[in-house]
Structures are given as structure tokens and as C-alpha cells.
A and B are shown apart, each in its own frame.
Chain A
Amino acid sequence: MRYAMAIDTKLCVGCSDCVVACQVENNVPVGYARDWVVEVVEGTYPNLAIELRSERCNHCDNSPCVRACPTGASHYAEGGIVLVTPEECIGCAACIESCPYDARFTHPDGYADKCTFCIHRVQNGQDPACVAVCPTTCMTFGDMDDPNSDVSKLVSSRRSKVLAPEAGTGPNIYYLT
């Protein structure tokens, strides 16, 4: 089992619905966000190329945050989902410094917080909130180890990229381009 997400940059319109869905579903404190939308514009007017990406924790195979954690609060849960146990976290921010994607932040209560791939929904057979709510259905969630899953088929049949592969983290969010 290897949970992953494929996000189609050709379908995303940058509406930020995924951001709001996450904040509501996970009771994210006001002023914080576990996911965000990036707009990349390349070129000179009128010859411009645009890419929209919904970004979040990449639940990396080789997570620098899990390695940096001095207490073991950051850990791998089922399907490779990277989670933080608040009761073990000392709030030292080593994981925040170690993440090349700046996907983590310190929760106002003191512990490190981040995207959980909505594990509470996934365990019930549902998609993460951001995926479920996307009006253009640009996001697909599933098991990369299963060659028949939608996410596997998309990643193997479309051109895709991951973010900062040179950081060696083995990210599990694929951007279809």
C-alpha cells in the first residue's frame, strides 16, 4: 500500500476550493493552511505559459521531517502517510526546517501540524477532503502499489513530474502536465 495523489495541472483552475475544504474538514486554525495553490507564470507578454498547482505535504518515501524529528513524533502511518503525534511533539521546528516544500507549520497549540491526507476519511474508504470537493476533479487519490488504481493508471499513462526531485525525498504527489 502506497498512498499517492495525481493532480492534473491542465484541469486545475486555481479556485482554492481544496484549501477551504481542508480548513473546514480538519478544523485548521484561522490564518493557517495545510494546502495551498501556486501559480507559475513563465515567459514575456503576450507569450506566456501558466501552470496552476494545488500543493500540500508530499508524504515522501524518504521524509526528511521524519529523520529530523528528535522524539519520533513525526512518523509513517499506514500507506506511507506522514503524521505527527501531538503528544510526542516538543515543538522544536526541526521538521519545519527540514521540509523543502515548507509544508509544515507550528500549530497555535505548540506542536507541528501538516496535511494528513485526511487519514480519518481514507480509513473509511473516502477520498481526502480536497480531492472530494474539487469542482474540476483535477485530483485523484489512491494506492500507487495497485497497478489498477486510478492514480497508478494516470501516472503511468500521462506525463507527470514531482516537486524538487533533486532533494531526494521521493514525493508522492504527482503533477500531470
Chain B
Amino acid sequence: MKEELIISGRMNPHIDPVLNAWGWEIAFYLFIGGLSAGILFFSALYVIRKKENIYPTAVKYAPMLVPFLLVLGLAALFIDLHHKLYFWRLYTTVRLESPMSWGAWTLMAITPLSVAWAASFVKEVWPKFNWWNIKILNTIEKLIIDNRRAIAWPLIMLSVILGIYTGVLLSAFNARPLWNTSILGPLFLTSGLSTAAALIVWMSKSKIERNIFTKIDLLLIGIELFLITHLIMGFLAGGQVQVESAEIFLGGAFTTYFWVFIVMLGLVLPAILEIMELNGLHIPAFAPAILILAGGIIFRFLMVEAGQITRYLY
């Protein structure tokens, strides 16, 4: 038997008895960031592939949400900061070693770009809107519309960085074994794309668009299940702290949340519903979408919470 105790009465807030320095703000942002990245990815992809008119929801309607989502996500990140008045220090330096610096600069680039991107579709969504007849706004709008395909390329790259970053933010911490796996970046990117595809299916009124995005979502769910299997197998093949990380989901504290809410209700059930839909059974579009979005947000919360209880032993 081995027992390790702090006997000097240390009780540092958010450190003891169990590390809990990151709370809902980070988990919420990881979900919002992934969803925004997914929406922008599909929008830019189908502009590049010149399919604006076949997939109007993905290209024009869904991106309208992104600036609002990103502002919500940024607000959550800002609330998370404890030394708020110094937040601008993020933008007085570029630190290539720090994933959070990458994320801050990516958000700095993609947030205004997403506003410009959404603004360029406003007249197609609301034909009567004319920017209050302000000339400069109409000039800028015309400039963006004329160069839409050129803007789509940096946008799609930034959206992939944003999506992967939501995972890398956690996976860069060697001190938290559950997070410290390079699968987390691709896994969160896939999950973000999947939540975006589900949202597009929910919003779309076009049968062709719903059909193709249901298929895309099914593929993404398949990849996610594959990556989750890899994640757990990778941990089980690791050292003691890695094995203990996997055990959190294999009989440990978060087993039920993980298998019931994320794998069964968040991935397998919506996949079954989507397969039924593709085979001609009518399933309400909101059902798989809500399950996938809920599964996505629960997944982020679970990873942020569970990762902080894993640690090195000495």
C-alpha cells in the first residue's frame, strides 16, 4: 500500500484537492470553436468547388451564425481569464511554442474574416437589406463578393487550424496524461465537422443538400468512432499513467457519461437515425442534429473535467 498526503494543509483554490483550473468556459469554447470551424470549412469548400447553388444552407445560411458563435466563444474565453485587463498581452507577442498563442492569433484572423464572409452573403439571404445605403459598406461587400473564391482558400485553412486547435489546446499538456495524445486534435476536428454537418442538415430545406450532408455526417461519425477506439487503445498500450487515463472511461468515474451520453446517444443513435433517413424512413431532421450537438458539447465538458484528474505519480 502506498499513501501520499500533503500534511502542511495546502488547499490552494482550484488546485486542491483536485486540479480544476479550467471550467465550463474552456469546454464551451472548444465546442463553439469546433462548430464554427466546421461551418466555415463546408462553406469555403463548396464555394471553392462552385456548388453555392446546390448547397445553399452550407454555403450561405449556416455561416450567418458563425460571427455570433465566435463572439460567444471569445466571451467565454475572456470570462475564463483571471487577469482580464491584461488580455491584450496575447497580441504583443508571437510565441510559437505555446498552443494558446497560436489559437489567439488564429482567432484574431478568423473572427473578422468570418464576419466579412457572412456579410458577403447577407443580400442573398435577405434581398431587401442594403447596408443602410452606406456607400463604403457596399463597396467593401462588392470587393469581397468579387474575390470570394480567393478568400475561401485562407478561410478553409484557418478553419482547419481552428478545428484542430480545439484539440491541441488540451493535447499539448504533457502533465495531464488523458489530454496528452496527438489523436485529440484530429478527433476534435472530426467532431467539430460532424456537429456542423448535423446543424446544416437540421437547417436545410433542400432534399439534395440534406441527403449529401447526412452522408458526410455518417462518414464523420464513423471516423470519430475509429479515432475514439484508437484513443483508448493507445492509452492501454502506454505507461501506467496512460493506462489509468483510459480506465477513467473503462469502469472509472466517467464511464457512464462517456459510453451512454457520448458514444451511444451522441454518435451511434444519431448514426442509426441517419441511416434510417437515407433508407426512406422519415426521421425528423432535428432529432439526429440535437443528439450530435449535445454529444459534442458533453464530449468537450467530459474531456476538460476528466483530463484534470489525471496526473503523474511520484
A-to-B contact residues, CB < 8 Å: 14, 16, 19, 31-33, 35-44, 52, 64, 67-73, 86-94, 96-100, 102, 104-106, 109-111, 163-164, 166-168
B90 within 8 A of A: yes
Whole-angstrom CA separation of A14 from B312 in the bound complex: 23
The 8 A CB mask of B241-266 against A (1 = contact, 0 = none) is 00000000000000000000000000
Count of CB-CB pairs between chains A and B under 8 Å: 156
Q: A97-B21, A102-B19 are in contact. Are A92 and B100 (CB under 8 A)?
A: yes
Whole-angstrom CA separation of A100 from B7 in the bound complex: 19
Chain A residue, CB-CB nearest to B87: A90
Chain B, 120-168, CB within 8 A of any chain A CB: none
13 sampled A-B residue pairs with Cβ under 8 A: A14-B7, A19-B8, A38-B5, A39-B5, A42-B3, A71-B101, A72-B95, A89-B83, A90-B86, A91-B86, A93-B14, A97-B19, A110-B83
Chain A residue, CB-CB nearest to B7: A39
Whole-angstrom CA separation of A90 from B1 in the bound complex: 42
Whole-angstrom CA separation of A89 from B173 in the bound complex: 19
B82 within 8 A of A: yes
Q: A163-B314, A166-B239, A168-B174 are in contact. Are A71 and B15 (CB under 8 A)?
A: no
Q: A92-B81, A106-B14, A163-B314 are in contact. Are A71 and B7 (CB under 8 A)?
A: no
Whole-angstrom CA separation of A37 from B7 in the bound complex: 6
A167 and B5 within 8 A (CB): no
Chain B residue, CB-CB nearest to A67: B97
Whole-angstrom CA separation of A19 from B6 in the bound complex: 12
Residue count of chain B within 8 Å CB distance of chain A: 49
Q: A91-B84, A92-B81 are in contact. Are A72 and B93 (CB under 8 A)?
A: yes
Whole-angstrom CA separation of A91 from B84 in the bound complex: 7
B residues near A97, Cβ cutoff 8 Å? 19, 21-22, 173, 175-176, 308
B12 within 8 A of A: yes
Whole-angstrom CA separation of A168 from B22 in the bound complex: 24
B311 and A100 within 8 A (CB): yes
The 8 A CB mask of B99-119 against A (1 = contact, 0 = none) is 111011000000000000000
A39 and B13 within 8 A (CB): no
A87 and B86 within 8 A (CB): yes
User: Which of B4, B11, B101 sits near A70, CB closer than 8 Å?
Assistant: B101
A93 and B8 within 8 A (CB): no
A residues near B97, Cβ cutoff 8 Å? 67
CB distance from B88 to the nearest CB of A (A): 8
Whole-angstrom CA separation of A99 from B7 in the bound complex: 21
A36 and B312 within 8 A (CB): no
B-to-A contact residues, CB < 8 Å: 1-16, 19, 21-22, 80-84, 86-87, 89-90, 92-93, 95, 97-101, 103-104, 172-176, 239, 308, 311-314
Q: A14-B7, A105-B14, A164-B312 are in contact. Are A91 and B81 (CB under 8 A)?
A: yes
B98 and A69 within 8 A (CB): yes
User: Which of A38, A40, A52, A100 sits near B175, CB closer than 8 Å?
Assistant: A100
Most buried by B among A70, A86, A87: A70
B22 and A93 within 8 A (CB): yes
Whole-angstrom CA separation of A41 from B314 in the bound complex: 12
A residues near B103, Cβ cutoff 8 Å? 70
Chain A residue, CB-CB nearest to B3: A41
Q: A31-B11, A72-B95, A89-B83 are in contact. Are A38 and B174 (CB under 8 A)?
A: no
Whole-angstrom CA separation of A16 from B22 in the bound complex: 29
CB distance from B103 to the nearest CB of A (A): 8
Chain A residue, CB-CB nearest to B80: A92
B residues near A16, Cβ cutoff 8 Å? 7-9
CB distance from A39 to the nearest CB of B (A): 5
Whole-angstrom CA separation of A99 from B175 in the bound complex: 6
